[in-house]
Structure 1
Amino acid sequence: MILLSKATSPIKGEITVPGDKSISHRSIMFGALAEGTTTITGFLESADCLSTIDCFRKLGIEIEKKNNHMTGVPTIYVHGKGINGLTAPDSLLYTGNSGTTTRLISGILSAQSFDTDITGDASIEKRPMKRVITPLSEMGADIVSVKDNDCAPLHITGGKKLHGITYNSPVASAQVKSAIILAGLYADSATTVIEPALSRNHTEIMLKAFGADIHNEIYEDGKAAAVLNPGQSLKAIDINVPGDISSAAFFIAAALMVPGSELLIKNVGVNETRAGIINVLKRMGADITLLNEDDSSEKRADILVKYSKLHGDKNKEFVIGGADIPTMIDELPVVAVLAATADCTTIIKDAAELKVKESNRIDSVVDNLKAMGCDVTATDDGMIIRGGKPLTGAEIDSHSDHRLAMSFAIAALGAEGETIIADDKCVDISYPTFFNDLRSLL
C-alpha cells in the first residue's frame, strides 16, 4: 500500500525512464533466433521482460547479464543458436503477467519440432488468445487452448510445417501481427498481415536489422500491412533500448498537471507508431517539445514538458479515436486522468481493446475517476470525461494493473486530500522503480 498527497510545489528537473518494454522483449526473442551473440544495453529489467528471459533460457538459450565495471550499467548478452536452435524445455513455460511473451512466443513455438505448454498468471489465463490461435492455425500450427476457452494455458504440438498466409487482422495489434510474422520466419512462402491501421512496428524495424526481409506497406484506405519473405538467417546485432514512452507518459502527465512544472525526460523512444500521446496532448494545448532527436533505427528524443492548461475545441469538446488509438493504447488511462483536469469534455472512442488488457481498463478507469469526484461515463468502446471538476483523494482499486496504479498515482498529485493505492507492487510488471522516481521529483 502507498499513500500519496497533492503536489505542493512544481515538478522540476530531469529524469530518465527505464528501457522500452516492447523493444526489450523482442531483443531477447530475436537475439535467441539469431546466429551469434546479441548485446543489449538499456534492457528493462521488469517482471514481464524477465519472464521472456526465463522462457528462452528454458528453451536452451544462454542469456547472461554483466555490469560495466566503469559505469555500472548492465549489458545483456543473448547467445543465439540460429532460427532452428531452440530445444525442448524440461518444464512448462510460465510467462507471468506478460501478454507480449505469451503471444509472440506462440508464433515461434508453432514451428518447432517439439511440443510445448505455455501459461501465465491469473490475468494471462483470462486474456484472449484466439486472436493468435486462429491465424497460427491457418498457417498449419497445432495450437490449442487447454481449457477450451480460447485462453491460456496453451498446448503447441511440434513438428508441423507452416505455410505463408495473408491475414486480415480485425484489430490493430502488434502482438497479433508479431506472432504471425515470427511464425512466418519458418513458413514456406511469404506472410502478410493486414491491419485496420499500423500498430507499433518494433518487430518490423528490429527483424530487418537482424537481417530479415520484411517491410511495411500503407494503403490509401489507411490500412497497413507487414510483409515478410522467409529464407534469411538472422545475424546478431547490438541493441541500445530507448526509454519507454509508456513509462514517460506518467511524468509527462505530472508536469502538465502541476502548476509551474518544467520537466525534461531524457532519451525516450518516439517511434511514430507509439508517440500518439504526444500528438494528442499537443492538440489539447500541451507545451511539449522534442529535443535532440535521433532518427537512426528506433527514433528517440528528449521530451521537454511544461505545465499547460488543457482544453478542447471551440465547443469545449475533444475527441480521441480512430488512428490515435493504436499509437497510444497503453497511455489511455493516464490520458483519461489528464482529461479529468481539462477544461473540456473528452470523448475516448474506438478503444474497446482496453477491455482485454491486464484489467478491463474502461470500467476500472471510470470507477476510479468517479471515486475521485470526476463526472465520467463508460461507453462500449471508451468513455466520456467531463473535465474541470476538482479531484479529491480516494482509495484506488488498481485491480493489480500496473498502468492503473501509476495513472492514479499521478491523479493524486492534483487531488485534494490523500489517495491510497493498495497494490503498489504491481508496478514491478513494467516499472519497478516508479514510486522512487516519482518521489525524487516531488
Structure 2
Amino acid sequence: MRVLVKPGSLHGSLQVPGSKSHTIRAALLGLLSEGESIICNPLASGDGLSALSAAKAFGARIEEREGCWVINGRGSSLVAPEDCINTGNSGTTTCFFSSVAALVDGWTVITGDEQIRRRPIKRLVDALNTLGATAFLTREGQEAPPVVIRGVLKGGKARLNGSNSQYVSSLLLSSPLAARDTEILVDNPLETPYVQITLDWMQRYGVEVERSDDYTRFYIRGGQHYTPGRFTIPADFSAVAFPLVAATLSNSDLLLTSLDFQDSQGDKRVIDILQAMGAHVEKDAKE
C-alpha cells in the first residue's frame, strides 16, 4: 500500500472526544452512588463501554442518550453478577471493578481478552484479601485474570507497589464503602496524575481522602456514601495532541473545545511543550 501525503492546513472548530480515564471512573462512581447520575460527553469506546457493562452487571440501571449516559446507581446495595464479567481489552475496568466486586456478598468472576489474561493483577488480589475480601486467581502459576472475588471488604491497612496506579485507584474508589477505615501505603508511587484523577472524581461525588503530598499514604474513612450528580467528561489530552501538533506544523487556525486546563491529566503537558518550541497556543479558561 502506498500513501501520498500533501501539505495542507486545518481551519475551524473541533470538539475533542472525552477522556477514557475519566469516563471509566465516572461510570463506576455512578454505580456506587445511590440515585441518578448524568454523565455528559462520555467516551463510548471499547473501554468505556466495558465499564458501563460492568456497572450494569452489579445492578445499575443505565440509559444511553445522545451525548450522555444516565446511571441509576446502587450505592452499597450492589447485586452479585449473574454471569462472568468480560472486560474485553480494558485493564482499567478489570482492576477497578475487581475492588467493586469485593463490596458484594456474593461471588464475581472477572476476565477479559487474551491480553488481559496475561496482565498481572496478583498484587491487587493480595491487597483485597488483606482488607477482608476473598479473592483468588484461577490458573496455577499465573498472576493474571480470570479472577474470582467475594466480599465483603472490611477495611484495614494494605501496602502496594505503586508502579501500577490502577491498583491504587481501584482500592481508593471502593474503600469509602467498606465498614471500617482504610489506610493504603504505596511504595514507589508512579503515574500519580492518574491517581489524582481518581481523587478528583471521588471529590466530585462527595467523598474526601486524606493523602500525603508524595502519594505514599492514603486514609479513607469507611461507611461513606457517594452522592450522584451531573458531570461532564473533559477532553482526552492524549487525543488533543494529534490535531494540536498537526496545526502547529502547518499554516492552521484551529479551535479545540471541551478542554479543562485544571484537569489532572498528565498529557496536558503537550501544550506547554509546544509553546516552549514556539507554537502559538491560546488557552481560554471558559472552554
Same fold per TM (> 0.5)? yes
Please say which structure displays the higher CA radius of gyration.
1
**Other-structure match for 1:79:** 72
Structure 1 position 199 matched with structure 2 position 211: no
CA shift in 2, pair 1:25/1:272, >3 Å: closer
Residues 108/286 of structure 1: CA separation in 2 closer, same or farther (3 Å cut): farther
**1:277 Cα shift?**
3.0
1: distance between equivalents of 2:10 and 2:83? 48
**1:264 partnered with 2:267:** no
**1:17 corresponding residue in structure 2:** 16
1:281 CA displacement: 4.2
8 Å CA contact 2:271, 2:281 repeated in 1: no
2:118 to 118, 121, 126: 126
CA distance in 2 between counterparts of 1:290 and 1:143 reads: 50
Matched, 1:90 2:85: no
- RMSD over aligned Cα, in angstroms? 2.3
Instruction: Determine the structure 1 residue equivalent to 2:207.
Output: 212
Please, which runs of 5 or more residues in structure 1 have no aligned partner? 68-73, 295-300, 302-442
Q: CA deviation at 1:32?
A: 0.8
CA distance in 2, matches of 1:111, 1:100: 18
CA distance in 2, matches of 1:168, 1:91: 30
Question: What is residue 150 of structure 1 aligned with on the other side?
Answer: 143
The whole-number CA distance in structure 2 between the counterparts of 1:159 and 1:151 is 20
1:12–1:263 contact (8 Å) kept in structure 2: yes
User: Residue 4 of structure 1: CA displacement?
Assistant: 4.5
- TM-score calculated relative to the size of structure 1: 0.59
* Other-structure match for 2:219: 227
Of 236, 239, 263, which residue of structure 1 is paired with 2:228? 236
Deviation at 1:42, TM superposition (A): 0.7
Contact 1:21 1:44 in 2 (8 A): yes
Give 3-state SS (helix, strand or coil) of 1:289's partner: coil
Partners of 2:126 and 2:84 lie apart in 1 by: 22
Residues 28/288 of structure 1: CA separation in 2 closer, same or farther (3 Å cut): farther
Q: Does 1:38 align with 2:32?
A: no
Deviation of the 1:259 alpha carbon: 3.3
String of CA shifts for 1:265-313, please: whole Å, max 9, x gaps: 2122442442233344445x1525352225xxxxxx5xxxxxxxxxxxx
TM-score relative to the length of structure 2: 0.87
- Contact between 2:155 and 2:222, CA under 8 Å: does it hold in 1? no
Q: 1:160 Cα shift?
A: 3.8
Residue type matched to 2:9 in 1?
P
Which residue of structure 1 lines up, in the alignment, with residue 170 of structure 2?
A: 179
**Letter of the structure 1 residue corresponding to residue 55 of structure 2:** F
- Mapping of residues 324-343 of structure 1, within 5 Å: none
Identify unmatched segments of 5+ residues in structure 2: none
CA distance in 1, matches of 2:218, 2:55: 25
Please identify, of 180-189 and 105-114, the stretch whose mean Cα deviation from structure 2 is larger.
180-189
Q: What SS class does the counterpart of residue 258 from structure 2 fall into?
A: strand
- The corresponding residue for 2:63 is 64
